[in-house]
Amino acid sequence: EAVRKLKADKLILLDEIEAWEGKKHLPREVVSGYLHSKGKPDDSHVVSNIYGVVFLEGEDLHKKPESERRALLEKLAFPQSTVNEPDLRYRLNLVPAKEAKNLAELKSTVQDLRKRPASEGVVVKKHKAIYHLDRNSRNGWFKRHNAPPTIDLGVEVVETKVKVKKT
């Protein structure tokens, strides 16, 4: 319903869904549970954070530079754009974009945004970066995670014919 209120008839948006409980950002597992729930899910605690547009009013935009896609995205009249707790009544949040003119500004902005309530990290995009449909940024996007990603390993114990001598 919230997408229908935007100033566009045909569009494909890029987003990440977050769950909130009041001012508390909930872990990704809550969103996963919501997405996999059976029956009519309760979406009163979720918000869609929109960070891009790749199709608008019949035009494929993915090969246009980030700066042009962002300008078109901002014209859609989102009800909010915050890096803090979103107002869940709106269901949509345009992820704010900040421009850094030099390395010092970039470092300062990244450090500030990383500390926000919902931040899992910061994505830095080059103005001329296009959106590759295979999700490979090809050095046009860089993500600074707040926490290092974890690696899950599956281990299986297999009995062998080799005997180990106990000492």
Distance CA 65, CA 13 (A): 15
- Give the pairing of strands 141-145 and 121-125: antiparallel
Which has the higher per-residue pLDDT, 116 or 51?
51
The 10s digit of each residue's pLDDT in 72-101 is 999 999 999 988 889 999 999 999 888 888
What is the chain's mean pLDDT, rounded? 84
Residue 86's region, left for phi above 0, alpha for psi from -120 to 50, else beta, is: beta
Q: Which residue has the tokens 């940024």?
A: 137
- The pTM (predicted TM-score) of the whole model is 0.78
